[in-house]
Structure 1
Amino acid sequence: MNFRELEQLGDADLKICGLRMWIHGRQFPDATDYWDGNWLSVTAYCIYPHSAVRIQNDSCVRLDELAGLLSGCERMYSSLSGKAELQCIEPYLAVELSASTNGHIDVKLSITPDHFKETHEYEDEIDQSHLPGIINSCRAILEKFPVRDSK
């Protein structure tokens, strides 16, 4: 994927440091059950000065996982402590935000287009002023695609 293809995707639905994620829809739009109805088709792209990795139009993220990230970010923003995580069942993408000192948040990103052959891990840092943007992005995704049929 080159930068022209990225531009064609438009604005990312979720941005966390070098990670950009676009939601294309549900993997199984007609499924109404919890397990099949909550998979998303996504493109994820992580770019840093010396590397770039993408997962293109794959179903590696679930809506309940995004809801967990949202909940964790809301708690962290109100207390400036703790963690927020995007804990995916599939091994292709992981995000961990950990409150540090002086309002700083340590960020760990893991992305792999093929978990049998390669994994890319990044560490970064943001401050708490970035949390409202992440929270609003998660809310917008979950409003457009509500979690179906809780467990």
Structure 2
Amino acid sequence: MSNSQKIDFGKPSLQIAGLKLWVHGRQFPAAQDYWDGNWLRVTARCDSVGSSVEAEGAIVHLGELHGLLEGCEGLHASLSGVAKLECMEPNLAVTLTARTLGHIDVQIRITPDEMSERHEFNASFDQSFLPAIINGCRGVLGEYPLRDPSGRSK
């Protein structure tokens, strides 16, 4: 996809290094249970010098985003450990790993078609970027509260 073909969705709901995530709404707005009620319709785009990969659809679950928030809060507090956006759908995965001196390594895996493509982006930043990620996660979870969190085990 060339830059001229990209749709401008406005400000992303969440940004992690070159990854931008726009939330368009719930996949099943009427569902109130944990499994069906928490799927988000998103567009995820990762850009770096010379490349851009985009995936879209109901590929992020609010439970996964909640896990990323908790992981990032832990990273910010201790400057150690790992935070992950571990998506059940194979289109997107993000890992943030704390290194020495407040450096955070980022690995982003994204694909529009998991059967024929694999794309990985690597970046790093310092811990001063974590609050924006935490705020992005909180913003999405504030707009789309996690439904039936006790229903995870069903």
Into which bin does the TM-score normalised by the smaller protein fall?
Answer: over 0.9
Which 5+ residue runs of structure 1 have no aligned equivalent? none
* TM-score normalised per structure 1: 0.95
Q: Which residue of 2 aligns with 1:90?
A: 89
Task: Say how many residue pairs are matched.
Answer: 150
Amino acid aligned to 1:127:
D
2:44 corresponds to: 44
* TM-score normalised to structure 2 length: 0.93
Return the letter of the residue paired with 2:141: L
| Distance (Å, rounded) in 2 between the aligned partners of 1:148 and 1:39 | 10
The amino acid of 1:82's aligned partner reads G
Which residues of 2 match residues 49-68 of structure 1 at below 5 A?
A: 49-56=49-56, 58-68=57-67
1:114 CA drift (Å):
0.3
Q: What SS class does the counterpart of residue 110 from structure 1 fall into?
A: strand
Consecutive aligned runs of 4 or more in structure 1 exceeding 2 Å deviation: 1-8
Q: In 1, Cα distance between the equivalents of 2:22 and 2:5?
A: 12
Please, which runs of 5 or more residues in structure 2 have no aligned partner?
none
Letter in 1 for 2:100: T
Q: Distance in 1 between matches of 2:147 and 2:75?
A: 26
Matched to 2:121, the amino acid is: Y
Residue in structure 2 matched with residue 122 of structure 1 by the alignment: 121
Partner of residue 10, structure 2: 10
Question: RMSD of the alignment, in Å?
Answer: 1.2
2:130 alignment partner AA: L
Identical columns (%):
53
